[in-house]
Structure 1
Amino acid sequence: MRAKPFIASEEMILAVNAALYLRRPLLLTGKPGTGKSTLISKVADELRLGPVLRWPINSRSTVRTGIYEYDAVGRLQAPGGTGAATRIEDYLVLGPLGASLAARGRPVALLVDEIDKSDLDFANDLLNVIEEGEYEIPELKRMGPGTIPVSAPFGQVVEITGGLLQADHFPFVVMTSNAEREFPAPFLRRCVRLDVGPPDRDELEKIVKSQLTDFREVLPEKEVNTVIEKFLHARATGDVSTDQLLNAVFLTVALKKGVGRTFSDLELEELRTNLLRPIT
């Protein structure tokens, strides 16, 4: 599990604690590869919140589609049409946001990934639903006051009464942004915010050791330090991510652990250089 070796910074820990105590969404802003989307997995693992509900955002995302999807066409074309012969629960499924509201017993973790790719109204509409803790599903509301079982992610079944989806617990919500656009002030005031910067040298050394524990015995300190120095130089002059550093170090130690090394030192150096090329 990738959350196990993840090392959260002191700033991350403080921001997470504030979001948990205040029951506010945590907005993480920063460049790709700084651990924004991995942090929620670490928190969910530490607090035993279960699998993280992941919601990748694009320009077509809406709050409604995050709550549920309804295949009206499929139900209409099914034998019996939309009458009593077809069950609406066979054509309606909760999305990640809907499943986070429907959680029972204990809260769950919801990742709203790259929220800056959404339209202008999305962010405030999302927070309105989260803060209210409920959402009325019209298709179920029309079915009357009864209880209807609805499918949710990870194979769960949620019972919804009278078409009203109500939360028992405030979900732990992390929203990530690559800082591609500005958010309105009312939205920012309703979040706990953290700008995630690139790790410094000491943090990079800890990340490498934590991520590559299986190779601890063959981690060549001198070579690892050399790769880190090249990474820092590349980061100072271009756009590189920590993942690229880990790939370059992994390549170095994995080949040394294996019995059949197929790369010369020169070839290995060329591969590392290529892995550390700036993204832009």
Structure 2
Amino acid sequence: MALWPVYTGSGTPHDGISRLPPPPPWRAFDGAPVLDAPGESDAAAASPDRVHRAETYRATPQTVQLVNAALYLRRPLLVTGPPGTGKSSLVYAVARELRLGPVLRWNITSRSTLHDGLYQYDPLSRLYAARHAQATTEAGIEDHLRLGPLGTALLPYARPRALLIDEIDKSDLDLPNDLLNVLEEGQYEIPELVRGARRTPTAEVMIDGTDERVPVERGRVRCRAFPFVVLTSNGEREFPPAFLRRCVTLRLRQPDDGQLMAIVRAHFDGEPDTYAQTLIDRFLSRVGGGELATDQLLNAIYLARSSDLGSKSLDDLAEQLMPYLGDAPHTDAF
């Protein structure tokens, strides 16, 4: 029986992902050979900060609904919103609750290309190795090739992997369009392996984040369980309609009083004290005047709890820690 919601936002790990219904017929994939996904306790799973973000993330009802829509439809989730609203933390929270293993992460820059996300191949190191070994055959290409985060996520895992494509709006104008076919078809080719497939039909290639090797047959990769893909954007640019219609879109807003209280409780393991509540109230009063990020508030609360400064010094420090992130009218906030 299908389970809705699969992702509950409770933060308690469970195996609900195994109770997803079959995908829509137009989103069914049949990649092989089927691979076991790495366990959640994999050594490369996450650094402490990522674990903390996963454990302390607090999802809104809208977030829970749209995460589940993306999971059921096997579609990427495009998350937009101001800085500090938890866009990148979301994928870690979902991966932890649904036990999807280590999150694969692709940080986008203006120079990022689709090729970077799929795989990296170093022909110069192969040429050097071939000369050193006095070998000229196609064998050994896989020793100089590693799958990227997107390429790894699209391997034929039995359970979906979690992939963060962070700050897609920083990319070159062509990247969203370049992603269309790969995300729609759930597959790609590695030409260097395709050319050598007659001699080496199965190549063992390294995956992103570890030295583990997986088999790739005849240079072609096709997913089996479509990955949970989160693309984040600060809303700094428009995306092509063809790209948007292939995504489920979640627009995050600045948290309200209740959400901020829940976030503070999660990060500091308890109710905020009187001064922390004062900082929360001041933060909320300033939100309408410009762009602020929740982690600015968390930084101010942490220092207030960890220092013995007087209230006037704390106020001055908090004001310096919580400047507007963009142009905003001058206000005497504190």
Task: Tell me if TM exceeds 0.5.
Answer: yes
* 2:126 maps to 1:75: yes
Match for residue 154 of structure 1? 209
Q: In 1, distance between residues paired with 2:139 and 2:321?
A: 54
Q: State, as a whole percentage, how many aligned pairs show the same letter.
A: 50
| Counterpart contact for 1:53–1:111, Cα < 8 Å | yes
* 2:296 maps to 1:250: no
Q: In 2, distance between residues paired with 1:74 and 1:266?
A: 60
Residue deviations 1:27-75, cap 9 Å, x none?
Answer: 0111111100000100000100001100011121111111000001222
Residue deviations 1:88-131, cap 9 Å, x none?
Answer: 12210000001001152211001111111122231132131122
Match for residue 286 of structure 2? 234
5 Å matches for 1:187-198? 187-198=243-254
Which of 253, 256, 260 pairs up with 1:200?
256
5 Å matches for 1:8-47? 8-47=59-98
Which of 295, 320, 326 pairs up with 1:274?
320
Match for residue 258 of structure 1? none
Q: Secondary structure at the match of 2:54?
A: coil
Letter in 1 for 2:255: P
Higher share in helix: 1
Mind listing any 5+ residue stretches in structure 1 that lack a counterpart? 256-260
Match for residue 115 of structure 2? 64
Q: In 1, distance between residues paired with 2:321 and 2:234?
A: 22
Letter in 1 for 2:301: V
| Counterpart contact for 2:156–2:222, Cα < 8 Å | no
Letter in 1 for 2:262: K
* 2:174 maps to 1:121: yes
Mind listing any 5+ residue stretches in structure 2 that lack a counterpart? 1-50, 327-334
Q: Secondary structure at the match of 1:4?
A: helix
Name which of structure 1's ranges 111-120 and 73-82 shifts more when overlaid on structure 2: 73-82
Q: Secondary structure at the match of 2:56?
A: coil
Q: In 1, distance between residues paired with 2:153 and 2:112?
A: 17
Q: Secondary structure at the match of 1:14?
A: helix
Name which of structure 1's ranges 157-166 and 85-94 shifts more when overlaid on structure 2: 85-94
Pairwise CA distance, 1:268: 2.3
| Counterpart contact for 2:139–2:196, Cα < 8 Å | no
Match for residue 176 of structure 1? 232
Q: In 2, distance between residues paired with 1:203 and 1:53?
A: 28
Query: How many residues get paired?
Result: 270
Q: In 2, distance between residues paired with 1:168 and 1:21?
A: 14
Letter in 2 for 1:276: M
Q: In 2, distance between residues paired with 1:33 and 1:111?
A: 16
Pairwise CA distance, 1:86: 6.9
Q: In 1, distance between residues paired with 2:260 and 2:138?
A: 60
Name which of structure 1's ranges 155-164 and 115-124 shifts more when overlaid on structure 2: 115-124
Which of 243, 266, 277 pairs up with 1:225?
277
Which of 177, 180, 187 pairs up with 1:134?
187
Match for residue 311 of structure 2? 265
Q: Secondary structure at the match of 1:27?
A: strand
**RMSD, aligned CA:** 1.7
* 2:147 maps to 1:94: yes
Q: In 2, distance between residues paired with 1:133 and 1:85?
A: 27
